[in-house]
Structure 1
Amino acid sequence: MRTSLGDRWVALTERLDGAGHWLAPLGLRLVLAWEFWEAGIQKYRGENWFAGIQDKFPVPFNLAPVDLSWTLATWAELIGAVALLLGLGTRFFAFALLVLTAVATVSVHWPADYGSLSELWRGYAITDKGFGNFKLPLLFALMLLPLVFQGGGKLSLDAALAARTGTTPREPVQDVLAWGLASMVLGLPLALLVPTVGMALLVAGVALVAVDRLLLA
């Protein structure tokens, strides 16, 4: 029996998916673990320079003492890097580092002022030429999101613990609650950068979760 081109494509993608569950999250975890470890170790060995930018921290992070903020940021990066490397608590630490990245972006890399999206996009750069330089933190955020939504993959301590305890997720669920959680995951860090968009997503997420609870009542 001859195999059609479509069948061959399906067979190919199924095998790439099978390998991808093992390899794709691992690649993200390794590169992010390295980057956040480097950032954390520089803070651990260096001097606290947060005093010069504390007024740029978003609420409520601007309310914390400078020394506390420095300590929390340092250990969040160091512990988060080790957790990503091992794939332990991947979703939690990826989300914590996502929020940390958003705080760093608005405090250091975000343009001081912009009047349009085209002006804002001029800050998508490595070097700040007066328009911000949020390219790297944006890339880190986009790399962290798959780990928040899909976890550390099969080559992780999370997967090993889930298999041992019988808590391995079965099939993905795309219901109202799923989209509500997704809206909140995206909304919280965005609320620090673009408050209107972020708050809209947070409100939508809370509403979807409430609707899901009402449907189950």
Structure 2
Amino acid sequence: MTAATHSLNGLAGLVQRVIALMSSLPEWIIAVAARIAVAGVFWTSARLKVDGFALKDSTYFLFEYEYALPLIPSDWAAVMGTIAEHVFPIMLILGLGTRFGALGLLVMTAVIQTFVYPGAWNLHLLWATGMLYLIIRGPGVLSLDHLIARRYAA
């Protein structure tokens, strides 16, 4: 065995050990990170739209002139969108109805992508990746969904 072959075998072994270490990380870490990341985006947006429990005048303005969704009156869209941006992130953080909260935010993201900011597809795809992970894999063991499922498992 030459020195170069030995060096390559050593490198391959190191790479395999690092991959094995990374593969052994618990999946709940990814789930919690996805829940926090996605919730943070929409929660921050929601909080900017309200003053106490009332929608700001600027929120109505945004929905009428900048967002301008088709088929839905702008004042309805402002109220529904702001409620959704509050409720769905709370669901994600608690891990309660996580898949449904992520699905709701994914639909909102699709609407935003299609009608509001079509040029921001790379950002929306990043958000959608976290949401799709949660829809497909669920919220992980650190969630109310997991506790409820364990409690009512047959």
Residue type at the aligned position of 1:21: E
How many matched pairs?
Answer: 135
Structure with the greater relative contact order (CA < 8 A, sep ≥ 6): 1 or 2? 2
Root-mean-square deviation (Å): 2.5
Shift of 1:18: 5.7
Shift of 1:160: 0.6
Determine if the alignment matches structure 1 residue 22 to structure 2 residue 28. Answer: yes
The 1:16/1:165 distance shift into structure 2, 3 A limit, reads farther
The 1:18/1:157 distance shift into structure 2, 3 A limit, reads farther
Residue type at the aligned position of 2:30: A
Unpaired segments ≥5 residues, structure 2: 1-11
Determine if the alignment matches structure 1 residue 74 to structure 2 residue 87. Answer: no
Determine if the alignment matches structure 1 residue 33 to structure 2 residue 59. Answer: no
**Hey, what's the Cα distance between the residues in 1 that align with 2:45 and 2:26?**
28
**Conserved? CA contact 1:30–1:85, under 8 Å:** yes
Shift of 1:51: 1.1
Question: Could you give the per-residue CA deviations for residues 1-44 of structure 1, whole angstroms, max 9, x where no partner exists?
Answer: xxxx99xx59x74x755642221100111111111100111122
TM-score (norm 2): 0.76
Determine if the alignment matches structure 1 residue 151 to structure 2 residue 138. Answer: yes
Greater Cα radius of gyration, structure 1 or 2: 2
Secondary structure of the equivalent of 1:153? coil
- Decide which of 71, 90, 100 is 1:63's aligned counterpart: 71
Equivalent pairs: percent with the same residue?
A: 34
**Hey, what's the Cα distance between the residues in 2 that align with 1:75 and 1:54?**
16
Of 15-24 and 66-75, more deviation after overlay is shown by: 15-24
Structure 1: 4+ residue segments shifted above 4 A:
15-18
**Conserved? CA contact 1:36–1:77, under 8 Å:** yes
Question: Could you give the per-residue CA deviations for residues 167-204 of structure 1, whole angstroms, max 9, x where no partner exists?
Answer: 6xxxxxxxxxxxxxxxxxxxxxxxxxxxxxxxxxxxxx
Residue type at the aligned position of 2:64: A
**Conserved? CA contact 2:67–2:116, under 8 Å:** no
Output aligned runs, 1:112-131, within 5 Å. none
The 1:28/1:54 distance shift into structure 2, 3 A limit, reads closer
**Hey, what's the Cα distance between the residues in 1 that align with 2:99 and 2:116?**
25
Secondary structure of the equivalent of 2:79? helix
TM-score (norm 1): 0.55
Unpaired segments ≥5 residues, structure 1: 111-131, 168-217
**Conserved? CA contact 1:53–1:107, under 8 Å:** no
- Decide which of 42, 52, 65 is 1:52's aligned counterpart: 65
Give 1:43's aligned residue. Answer: 49
Secondary structure of the equivalent of 2:50? helix
